[in-house]
Chain A
Amino acid sequence: MAMSDVLFELLNVTQLTGGVVRLRNITTKIHPGVTAVLGPSGAGKTTLLNLLVGYEKPTSGEVRQNVSATHKLPYFWVPFDLGLWKQHKVIEHLTVLGVNEQKAGEWLKEFDLEEQAAQKASTLSQGQASRLAVARALASEAPLLIFDEPLVHVGPKRMPHYWTVITHYLKERKASLIFSTHDPIIAASFADHGLFLDEGTVQGSGAMDDVLMQVEGGGQNAP
């Protein structure tokens, strides 16, 4: 995988949505590897990820990207509302990517969704839906994954297994992951880099351990 040292570079990015400032004059870089975007609710995490994938355009400033163009799908995104195609079957969420049924079944099995394969996505529980969104992203084989609060509705019992699947995918494909979370424990466990946002500004960035130390009471914001 040919990726440069910087995946994204944000230059003086400000984002207003419905008259509310979501991000305020942000300048930062995101490197390959696993990056956790931390911060309390309303910090601007979702807006930042929306800007990275191009779902939103910045009101001012620039988002530069260096994402590999050699893959069919350079990135895959799990949006804040999961972005499922509700009238389609669970398995179709994977086969539409060009994945064959057998491989799709294997991915569903990893995320304990094989029994729901023939169900419509609209009938899934929130936990099942968030697992499907992650399974779809991994099935895309994209070298960059962008997850907005992944597995947020999943119970704690199977959570470590799903994170193991994600970590295995990243190692096997030398892929990168940018994910937002409230939880500093998850961030510390899986991320190499951290980006701490609060009230639309960057409060700290760099190596994950440094970010957690930089931000006083960073862990206190976790729910």
Chain B
Amino acid sequence: MRFVIESDLMRALAVAFLATAAGYPGACFLRTVVSRKLRFIFVAVLAGILLTPLLLTGYAYYTHLPALTARTFWLVSVYMGILVLKYLPVGTFILCLNQYSNTRASDFIFHSIKPGWKTTLTYLFKNWRASFLASAAVIFLLAFNEFELASLMTVPTWTVTIFEMQAGGYPLLDSFRGLLKPFLIQLLPLCVLLGIAWKWAAGQAVVAEESLKPLQPWQWIPTIVAFFGVTFIPLGMTTLSAVGGFREVLRNFALGSDILFSVGVSVMVSLLTLCLLSQVRRRNYLCALAIPGLTGSLFIALVLVALFQNDILNRMYDTPVPLTIALTLIFLPMTIVCWFIADRFGKSTSAYLAHYLAEQTHGNKARALHWKITHSPKLLVMLIVFYFAYLELTASALLAPSGSMPVTVRLYKLMHYGKTSGFSAMTILSILVPVLFTMIVLGLEKGVIRRAWR
């Protein structure tokens, strides 16, 4: 266990700093690009990488490139490479916010008039110090807690070890003993994040102002590489291998009940998250609620297993309740960040005027306008929660009630048997479900708004 933890720690640290560095050019691009269209395309590419399930990426590479992963060094290198590319958008988005910058106009001017590696490094360090730390801390937590890809690629990590112990029927206490060191390791990045969040909440953050620069194509390169490596190639490989299997799978669709169960739980997770976010008004209470989520899905799932095996809660153990709570907690940190961003739209002067019009005139157009500005971004946040909850694997595998199987758990189990066209088709169709669900909800919303405008 000791060796595994140390190598996990080094690996996660390397991924954290590499992904943050790789995300830096994209952040520069996003902060300085003038064209709205280019910014939209770039954000869409980043979102595409983030929304691609690691299960799909892992399945594509593990089953299609067995020769590359035959040796441990290459296996771990490929694993780390995929994680760097996968978490690059996290780095880009956090660096892009750059809320905690210590830059001053004089630094920027000094950097501009006296270029050189020393001044550049000093400028970068001063300008991006806190956001680099925030990005590295978040990516470290994600990489350190990663399970799906490691399990599929048979990379020995602490998450795989603990998961297998739990699935193998070891006593829960043994799993908790194994969790102690990883938990302690995670305290440092957690403290860094809390410190930065506290600084942000106290309003001490300084937003760096940068002059707008023309588009520099090189800034796209790491993101494009990540998009191809994580999304495009795995999706393409799996779709190509699935071509012959779609008809067979659609004729005998065995995943129906699994998909229904996953959709049901994910809807409940979205609703529970919405209740929490709309009822808990104070930001620091919300941030406190987000802390468990930062410790990773395996930790939360095991704590909930222990809690619901307790005499008082035991009655609910074999229901979707523990899984719903776990998934809500797991995605709460990400949701809170998205919610705060969405909430800012609702506090703009344009939203205030739309709200005023809707309240005073009761006109359908004014109401539709108010909904579009204030509530549409929040609906999108809920759909993102739905998407991630649907595709979560670790907690789903440990907490699903007996007799029900979340679709990701079914896919994960089948993936160990290797590649078939039928199975590739099942993977693609299962991933399409939340995409279709999102499109239907957004389409309905758009239809209602359009009707109100007539």
Contacts and interface: CB of A to CB of B under 8 A. Distances in A.
Given A85-B369, A85-B373, A88-B369, A97 B349 contact: no
Interface string A50-65: 0000010000000000
Interface majority SS (helix, strand, loop, mixed), chain A:
loop
B353 interface: yes
Contact of B350 (A18, A19, A84, A97): A84
B361 interface: yes
Interface string B95-110: 0000000000000000
Interface in B352-385: 352-354, 356-357, 360-361, 363, 365-366, 369, 372-373
Contact of A96 (B203, B349, B366): B366
Interface of A: 18-19, 55, 72-74, 77, 79-88, 92, 95-98, 122
A223 B282 CA distance: 42
Nearest to A20: B203
A55 B352 contact: yes
A95 B366 CA distance: 10
B216 interface: no
Contacts of A88: 369
Interface residues of B, number: 19
Contacts of B71: none
Nearest to A50: B349
Contacts, number: 48
A88 B368 CA distance: 12
Given A72-B361, A96-B366, A83 B203 contact: no
A221 B119 CA distance: 40
B348 interface: yes
B452 to A, nearest CB: 10
B36 interface: yes
Nearest to B350: A83
Contact of A98 (B203, B350, B363, B369): B363
7 contacts: A73-B357, A73-B361, A79-B349, A80-B349, A83-B352, A96-B365, A96-B366
A18 B369 CA distance: 29
Most chain A CB within a 10 A radius of its CB, from B36, B360, B363: B360
A95 B350 contact: no
Contact of B353 (A19, A77, A80): A77
Nearest to A55: B352
Contacts of A87: 372
